[in-house]
């Protein structure tokens, strides 16, 4: 097990569309201690490489976007310090030259990212004079935003000498499980702010000079035009969902001048 030096993130101000100065309240410095252990190995006369590792990130005062309550404006977006949180997980990478010119690679990552201690805002209630008072909840055990439990990729690349050039082709399949756009502890909020999981496919086909001095590639990203979300947040009384990029196709021409 290896412990890295302690890392820091300076105190900051939130970048939100604010209706009151209370939303611009500064947060304090965030700190992190990173523990990691892993291995790297080659097998079968260097035709196969296998790398793996485990990690544990111990956060203090992690800066996250969350709700604050203003007496006049009700629940608003702001930046808060979560006193204690942690991220632990494991990753594995495999690459193999199956036959001459064909390389297959695979990778998988598991992440368990949770709040260890934080008393935050889950709602508000109007008091006897018509102003809003916060309702607090215990976020201990809540998932950290944008931390899908599973991420994986599978790719294959093939190169074939053909008529004085190299014909190259490849495809990549990448996927990740669902996550949350904000801190949430109620089932209603978890459904509302869910960032759906997705599996995307990209492909490429082209030719290049044997010495690598030039190359021409056609490529496609998200070739099956999968609809997916990248973020889900609430702005005042509106939930906003951001869609990922649709299918894209293009061409790349590359030259190396010597």
Identify the residue with better confidence: 255 or 67.
255
Across the chain, mean pLDDT equals 90
Please tell me whether residues 169 and 200 are part of one structural domain. Answer: yes
Does some domain include residue 102? no
Confidence (pLDDT) at 102 = 96
DSSP characters over 103-133: EEEEEEEEEEEEEEE-EEEEEEEE-TTS-EE
Task: Average the pLDDT over each of 120-129, 166-175, 199-208 and give the range with the smallest value.
Answer: 120-129
Does some domain include residue 137? yes
Task: Average the pLDDT over each of 5-19, 35-49, 233-247 and give the range with the smallest value.
Answer: 5-19
The residue to which tokens 């006369």 are assigned: 45
Of the pLDDT bands very low, low, confident and very high (cuts 50, 70, 90), residue 164 is confident
Does some domain include residue 231? yes
Kindly report, residue by residue over 225-243, the tens digit of the pLDDT.
999 999 988 776 778 899 9
Does some domain include residue 74? yes
Does some domain include residue 45? yes
Kindly report, residue by residue over 112-155, the tens digit of the pLDDT.
999 999 998 887 788 888 778 878 889 999 999 999 999 999 99
Please tell me whether residues 184 and 134 are part of one structural domain. Answer: no
Does some domain include residue 169? yes
C-alpha distance across the termini of the chain, in Å: 45
Does some domain include residue 139? yes
Range of the domain at 206: 147-258
Mean per-residue pLDDT, 9-17: 80
Number of structural domains in the chain? 2
Please tell me whether residues 166 and 59 are part of one structural domain. Answer: no
- Model's pTM, two decimal places? 0.85
The answer to whether residue 2 scores a pLDDT higher than 60 is no
Please tell me whether residues 224 and 168 are part of one structural domain. Answer: yes
CA dihedral 241, 125, 71, 28 (to 10 degrees): -60
Share of the chain above pLDDT 90, in %: 63
Confidence (pLDDT) at 120 = 87
Distance of CA 235 to the CA centre of its chain: 22
Please tell me whether residues 234 and 254 are part of one structural domain. Answer: yes
Please tell me whether residues 132 and 250 are part of one structural domain. Answer: no
Of the pLDDT bands very low, low, confident and very high (cuts 50, 70, 90), residue 3 is low
Please tell me whether residues 140 and 213 are part of one structural domain. Answer: no
CA-closest candidate to residue 107, choices 151, 149, 53: 151
Please tell me whether residues 247 and 207 are part of one structural domain. Answer: yes
Per DSSP, the three-state class of 231 is: strand
Mean per-residue pLDDT, 49-77: 88
Please tell me whether residues 153 and 140 are part of one structural domain. Answer: no
Kindly report, residue by residue over 172-195, the tens digit of the pLDDT.
999 999 999 988 887 878 888 899
Please tell me whether residues 74 and 130 are part of one structural domain. Answer: yes
Confidence (pLDDT) at 81 = 93
The answer to whether residue 1 scores a pLDDT higher than 70 is no
Burial of 40 (0-12, 13-18, 19+ CB in 10 A): exposed
Confidence (pLDDT) at 18 = 67
Please tell me whether residues 136 and 151 are part of one structural domain. Answer: no
The answer to whether residue 218 scores a pLDDT higher than 90 is yes
Please tell me whether residues 117 and 203 are part of one structural domain. Answer: no
Does some domain include residue 162? yes
Confidence (pLDDT) at 4 = 67
Which residue, of 129, 144, 159, is where some domain finishes?
A: 144
Confidence (pLDDT) at 30 = 93
């Amino acid at each position: 097990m290896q412990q890295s030096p302690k890392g820091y993130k300076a105190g900051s101000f939130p970048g939100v569309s604010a209706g009151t100065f209370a939303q611009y309240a500064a947060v304090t410095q965030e700190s992190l201690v990173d523990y990691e252990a892993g291995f790297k190995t080659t097998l079968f006369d260097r035709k196969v490489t296998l790398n793996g590792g485990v990690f544990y990130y111990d956060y203090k005062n992690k800066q996250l976007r969350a709700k604050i309550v203003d007496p006049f404006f009700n629940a608003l977006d702001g930046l808060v310090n979560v006193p204690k949180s942690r991220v632990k997980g494991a990753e594995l990478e495999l690459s193999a030259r199956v036959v001459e010119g064909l390389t297959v690679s695979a990778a998988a990552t598991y992440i368990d990212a949770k709040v260890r201690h934080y008393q935050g805002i889950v709602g508000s209630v109007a008091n006897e004079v018509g102003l809003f008072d916060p309702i607090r909840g215990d976020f201990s055990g809540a998932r950290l935003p944008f931390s899908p439990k599973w991420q994986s990729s599978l790719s294959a690349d093939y190169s074939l000498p053909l008529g004085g050039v190299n014909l190259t082709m490849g495809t990549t399949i990448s996927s990740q499980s669902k996550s949350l756009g904000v801190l949430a502890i109620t089932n209603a909020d978890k459904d509302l702010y869910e960032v759906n999981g997705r599996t995307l496919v990209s492909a490429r086909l082209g030719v290049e000079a044997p010495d690598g001095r030039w190359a021409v590639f056609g490529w496609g990203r998200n070739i099956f035009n999968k609809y997916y979300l990248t973020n889900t947040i609430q702005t005042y009384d509106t939930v906003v969902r951001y869609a990922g990029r649709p299918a894209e196709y293009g061409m790349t021409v590359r030259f190396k001048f010597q």
